[in-house]
Chain A
Amino acid sequence: MWIAYKTIVVKEILRFSRIWVQTIFPPIITTSLYLLIFGGLMGERIGPMQGVDYLHFIIPGIILMTVIQNAYANTVSSFFLAKFNHSIEELLISPVSYWVILLGYVSGGVARGFSVGLGVFIAVSFFVDLSIYSIGIVLITFLLTAVLFSLAGFINAVFAQSFDDISIVPTFILMPMTYLGGMFYSIEILPEFWQMLSKFNPIYYMVDSFRMGFLGSSTTDFITSMMVLTSMIILLAVVAFYLLKRGVNIKT
């Protein structure tokens, strides 16, 4: 099983590495633009947030946004394409268990999230003096976030019947949730009602914990954030496994 798992992961890493111009490079450019415009040009006018200048405040959120988008994009496109060109049959006829298939695809998503996140971090380091409060919190939050959105991308790919179906969720659900999850602002500046509503958005907990890893301050309890993320991962993993085992949209 270990060889099969390793094979899927290596295949996934080679897949997104071969097309690095589409997968790795664009987020680094986009992020640099975000930092230049929001952090550099507008940041001084906005002023400090959560006790730090605006540029340092938004960096963790922007890195995590690229992790979310890329982890999701990797599994949704890879698994949907495998369905589309029927290469998923290579796995279905082989004795690889469904857990290993799921774990392999999710690991591929995590690997892309990590590659892009690290690329953005390195790019940002050229312009901004970055310090990390807790590398442990940064890594654990990154890992849970990447796993969660890789699973979400996988579920999207199972249900997707066309290329449109793999772009609807990222555009109409993922993007608004990311932007409203406190990436560009601290939820403390929102009216009470919107603060409460923000707490139903799982991305808020990820951004908040990730920011804590960098800045050492947060607006919610770290343990609560981890519990929210872990619960969601368990839920999505069970759903993804069930769909795969039942062969939904894969086997008739």
Chain B
Amino acid sequence: MPNALQISKLTKTYANNVQALSQVDLSVEQGDFFALLGSNGAGKTTMIGIICSLLNKTFGSVSVMGLDQATELNQVKRMIGLMPQEFNFNPFEPIEEILINQAGYYGIDRHQAKARAELLLKRIELWDKRTDMAKSLSGGMKRRLMLARALMHEPKILILDEPSAGVDVEIRRSMWDFLKELNNEGMTIILTTHYLEEAESLCRNIAILDKGQVIEQSSMKALLAKVSQQVLILESGKSLPNPLPMLSFSVERLDDHSMQVVLDKLSISNALETLGKEGIEIEHVRSAQNRLETLFLRLTSRED
């Protein structure tokens, strides 16, 4: 079975000589939920632009479901649905029309497109606004509209560039559920996000892009296993001693009732036992840092 996406030596140099991508190799299996992480300017949007034919590549090859983009462009385009980072619809068009037109560009007749638009608009909770102009929607609604638009032609691969930007927590969760549902139905999903929690909870595989190069590609599980260090916030019902006693692990008093501990190899239960021996009873434990974030910062060398 061919990979959903296969990128080889992809290079992009803009007219102003900025090299956005340099010899990038990347593969995404069919049915995967794949995260593409990178800080601003890492080359994520450029890569997506090339995959979706919005940008011209300088060098390299892209194949989708085994089809070479250079020779079978139209078939490749049919395989991909894109939800871009920036709003890219006509704000003066009713939202149902935006969806029906998009389907029309893929050769889907109006009758069929109308039925599909109804299904999707109901799923993303915008059916009541179907006749409204797109400009009247909130930022989160506009993102959902772009998600529905990307799905109008039933693509095999869905590419989401920062899908959760500007979307409130409740809608974000419901969007995640929808994306998981699509993935369970067999759709390959490639996601770029700044919300590392989003990548960690949704994606099975991951690539990290930095300065136009892939610096890490593996399964999410394997990547997270590299982070042995845990940073925890421990809260006590009683006042903590000041100063805190010297312990075998790093500890910092945050306020009268809470402290931050950094555990390298020691388990949480051992740490709690050690604290108990010092007369410190802990009532609540929470993570101070997203593990993926820790790793991301380490890999991209932005950790102080």
Is residue B97 contacting chain A, with contact meaning CB distance below 8 A? yes
Main secondary structure of the interface of A (DSSP, over half): helix
Chain A's nearest CB lies how many Å from the CB of B5? 15
Are A90 and B101 interface neighbours, CB within 8 A?
A: yes
B107-133 interface (Cβ within 8 A of A): 107-109
Partner of A91, one of B75, B78, B105: B105
Whether A92 touches B104, Cβ cut-off 8 Å, given contacts A85-B88, A85-B89, is no
Residues of A within 8 A of B101 (CB): 7, 11, 90
B174-218 interface (Cβ within 8 A of A): none
Q: What is the interface size of chain B, counting residues whose CB is below 8 A from a CB of the partner?
A: 35
Give B154-172 as 1s and 0s: 1 = Cβ < 8 Å from A's Cβ atoms. Answer: 0000000000000000000
A82-B88 Cα distance, complex, nearest whole Å? 9
A208-B176 Cα distance, complex, nearest whole Å? 64
Is residue A21 contacting chain B, with contact meaning CB distance below 8 A? no
B72-120 interface (Cβ within 8 A of A): 73-75, 77-78, 80, 82, 84, 86-93, 97, 100-102, 104-109
Are A81 and B105 interface neighbours, CB within 8 A?
A: no
Are A86 and B86 interface neighbours, CB within 8 A?
A: yes
Is residue A171 contacting chain B, with contact meaning CB distance below 8 A? no
Residues of A within 8 A of B91 (CB): 85
Are B109 and A3 interface neighbours, CB within 8 A?
A: yes
Residues of B within 8 A of A3 (CB): 104, 107-109
Residues of B whose CB lies within 8 Å of any CB of A are: 14-15, 52-56, 73-75, 77-78, 80, 82, 84, 86-93, 97, 100-102, 104-109, 149, 153
8 A-B residue pairs with Cβ-Cβ distance under 8 Å, sorted by A, are A4-B107, A7-B100, A7-B105, A14-B97, A81-B90, A89-B54, A92-B54, A93-B82
| 6 closest A-B pairs by CB | A7-B104, A86-B88, A94-B105, A95-B74, A87-B90, A95-B77
